[in-house]
């Protein structure tokens, strides 16, 4: 595992609406770190703020809504040859929200299908119009812990990354547990 000397605290929040059809809200990040990828809504925890407060503030700033967020997991990301610090990301989820979703300078909100493909719901109503979760356009670690978030398990995880010559991220190692 890569070494690091300090951590920076971030948040990431997801709305998982029970439906039917069951769906998850992601944001297409338009600029900054992780641009052109889908992710939850979140950012840096500011001085004097708890992670829970930051999660609510970022959700409102990035897509205009409020939600009864629950803490759902903690992730640690370390990059080779990158800064000597790691990202610690506190993950939150809610199954409802209030307010009106808006597109902001930073994020374009979009719903995706969160239906378990083995479920009764799919057998009864196969033609959901929602696209599946776009793992090909998400951070490489997401495919590993997203099922834990969707099944409402509390998880911890770590992923170590390297970048190739073109600056593309490669996941060297990951570990997730519940």
Q: Which of 169, 146, 164, 147 is nearest to 77 (CA)?
A: 169
Q: Is residue 90 part of the contact set for ligand 6OG (CB under 6 A)? A: no
The secondary structure of 82-124 as a DSSP string is S-SEEEEEEEEEES--BS-----SSEEEEEEE---TTSHHHHH
Residue whose entry in the numeric block shows the structure tokens 């997203």: 146
CB of 81 to ligand 6OG, least distance (A): 14
Query: In this chain, which stretch among 26-34, 97-105, 112-120, 124-132 interacts with ligand 6OG, using CB under 6 A?
Result: 26-34
Instruction: Please tell me whether residue 141 binds ligand 6OG under the rule CB under 6 A.
Output: yes
- Nearest 10 degrees: CA dihedral of 111, 133, 26, 105? -100
Looking up tokens 């409402």 gives 152
Count of positions on this chain that bind ligand 6OG (CB under 6 A): 15
Residues pairing with 90 in the sheet: 11, 74
**Quick check: 88 binds ligand 6OG (CB under 6 A)?**
no
CA-nearest of 69, 71, 75 to 57 is: 69
Residue from 42, 73, 109, 157 that binds ligand 6OG (CB under 6 A)? 42
Which C-beta is closer to ligand 6OG: that of 92 or that of 97? 92
User: Does 33 help bind ligand 6OG (rule: CB under 6 A)?
Assistant: yes
Given a contact cutoff of 8 angstroms between Cβ atoms, the answer to whether 117 and 130 are in contact is no
Stretch that binds ligand 6OG, among 27-35, 95-103, 113-121, 149-157 (CB under 6 A): 27-35
Among 34, 132, 147, 177, binds ligand 6OG (CB under 6 A): 34
Q: Is 148:176 a contact under the CB 8 Å cutoff?
A: yes
If the CB atoms of residues 87 and 155 are measured against ligand 6OG, the closer one turns out to be 87
Residue 81 touching ligand 6OG (CB under 6 A): no
Contact set with ligand 6OG (CB under 6 A): 10, 12, 32-34, 39, 42-44, 77, 87, 89, 139, 141-142
């Amino acid at each position: 595992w890569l070494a690091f000397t300090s951590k920076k605290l971030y948040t990431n929040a997801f709305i998982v609406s029970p439906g039917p059809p069951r769906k998850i809200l992601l944001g297409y990040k338009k600029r900054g770190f992780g641009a052109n990828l889908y992710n939850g809504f979140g950012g840096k925890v500011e001085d004097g703020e708890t992670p829970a407060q930051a999660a609510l503030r970022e959700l409102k700033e990035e897509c205009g809504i409020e939600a009864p967020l629950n803490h759902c997991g903690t992730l640690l990301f370390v990059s080779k040859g990158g800064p000597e610090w790691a990202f610690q990301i506190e993950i939150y989820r809610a199954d409802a929200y209030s307010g009106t979703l808006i597109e902001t300078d930073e994020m374009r909100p979009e719903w995706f299908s969160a239906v378990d493909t083995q479920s009764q719901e799919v057998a009864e109503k196969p033609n959901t119009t929602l696209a599946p979760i776009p793992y090909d356009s998400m951070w490489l670690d997401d495919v590993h812990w997203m099922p834990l978030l969707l099944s409402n398990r509390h998880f911890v995880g770590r992923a170590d990354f390297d970048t190739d010559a073109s600056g593309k991220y490669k996941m060297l190692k990951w570990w997730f547990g519940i």
